[in-house]
Amino acid sequence: MKCNYVAIGEIASINSSLYSFKDNWESVIYLDTGSVVRNSISELKRFRPKFDKVPSRARRKVRNNSIVISMVRPNQEHFALLKNPPHNMLVSTGFSVIDADMEKVSPGFLYYALTTKAATNYFQSLAEQSVSTYPTLSVSDLSAYIIQLPAIITQRKIEKILVDLDSKISVNNQINDYLGELAQSIFNNWFVDFGPWGGEIPGDWESGVLGDYVSVKRGGSPRPIQEFLSDDGLRWLKIADVSGVTSPFIMTIKEHIKKEGLRKTVHLDAGSLVLSNSATPGIPKIISIDTCIHDGWLYFPESDFSNEWLYCYFQNVRKQLARMANGSVFQNLKTDIVKNFEIIRPTNKALDDFQEVIGPLFKFMEANQKEILHLGELRNALLPKLMAGEIDVSNVNPAQQNNHLS
């Protein structure tokens, strides 16, 4: 495959358009850096500039096929290719917005070239050399990044292979989002609206506090933590690992600690449920792999309830718990707050009946999430080889509709 080597600044513009209040938009759709991970957007916020305080970082305009990449801590993979974004969409100044010169490069190809593991690791290494408070990539370094650029028809063939994989991942994510909403709807119908019992709390259900029925414990952190971080060893679950993850299940954890730190932390087996208690308190997750947890997590070694029931319960009361968290710098959800949180305990019969309905949904979501993970691994394995021209794409038809992955 014949290629040229070009800098990003030669084939794309970066941060070319900023919003001003003189634009006089009636509403703004805002994307923050923490709301996107690997092309998956978890939240968009809406503001009305005449009535709401618009975040000061909501400045960068985007258009169809804009690529957004977070410049702070590039290894957290806050990036996306925006297809047909709202006309009034702004993104944080924590992003760089990259717009491809369509005559020179396909936007999809450029997105994949900028999001290989090699590119992410290189950007992180440059960011760590910055003088900023946090590792931050400079626009000049991004603009100077060199990629291999084949002919435009070859770019589109490479893009098609990767888009087909990403489309399958996207479909699976949509299925899981639907099933998650369905599970929460069933929970709310049973245990909030008491639908199966005519809208009335059954007389044989108990009133109490969560600590009456659940053991609430806190994780631990060896300190100073920098001395215990390692490239391998024991997994180390951080809040960043769940940022932007809509699935109930956590299957990938980036950081590790040395085994020497085990006596100062808590090690949990796969299948445990955790709840964030700091920074962004009240996030429940079921971990599908063994991991250690720091003191920003709560866990529940003994419980009258299934993980599925507790997950739905915490999802339902998350806003209430977050309001009860305290702290001048970071919000903190103390164990006593969770232990003393008022609850109505259903009968074992009601819990068992619910589990029969909800258990298969969670099993399907977990299996689907594993397929998403495997497809992502396949994509990540193919991506650098495709970009390096090591895979023959001559027989790929970029215009053909592929249904075999759906």
pLDDT tens for 162-191 read 999 999 998 999 999 999 999 999 999 999
Asked if residue 91 belongs to a domain, the reply is yes
Boundary of a domain, candidates 127, 150, 173: 150
CA distance 7 to 11: 7
pLDDT at 406: 36
110-163 pLDDT per residue, tens:
999 999 999 999 999 999 999 888 999 999 999 999 999 999 999 999 999 999
Q: 130 lies in which domain range?
A: 3-150
- Identify whether residues 238 and 313 lie together within a single domain: yes
Identify whether residues 38 and 136 lie together within a single domain: yes
Please name which of 22, 97, 85, 30 lies closest in space to residue 57, comparing C-alpha atoms: 30
What's the pLDDT tens digit per position in 11-35? 999 999 999 888 989 999 999 999 9
Q: Residue written as tokens 């001048």? A: 328
Domain end point (choices 323, 345, 367): 345
Domain harbouring 38, CATH code: 3.90.220.20
Using pLDDT thresholds of 50, 70 and 90, give the confidence band for residue 404. very low
Residue with tokens 């679950």: 237
Q: How far is CA 302 from CA 84, 146, 237, 265, 283, in A?
A: 48, 54, 21, 18, 19
DSSP β-ladder status, 297-299 and 266-268: unpaired
Which tokens go with 358?
Answer: 């909800």
Report the predicted TM-score, pTM, of the whole model to 2 decimal places: 0.80
Task: Answer with the one of 150, 167, 197 that is the final residue of a domain.
Answer: 150
Please indicate, yes or no, if residue 368 is contained in any of the structural domains: no
Same-domain check for residues 145 and 217 = no
Q: In this structure, is residue 295 part of a structural domain?
A: yes
Cβ atoms of 355 and 92 closer than 8 Å: no
Residue 398 within a domain = no
216 with 329, same domain: the answer is yes
Task: Please name which of 372, 379, 316 lies closest in space to residue 343, comparing C-alpha atoms.
Answer: 316
Residue 225 inside a domain? The answer is yes
Residue 395 · residue 154 · CB < 8 Å:
no
Q: Do 129 and 23 share a structural domain?
A: yes
- Given this model, what pLDDT does residue 245 score? 83
Residue 43 lies in a domain: yes
Average pLDDT taken over every residue of the chain: 93
Kindly state whether residues 15 and 120 are assigned to the same domain.
Answer: yes
* 279 and 215 fall within a common domain: yes
Do 123 and 242 have their domain in common?
Answer: no
Give how many domains the chain has, as a whole number. 2
Distance CA 367, CA 392 (A): 32
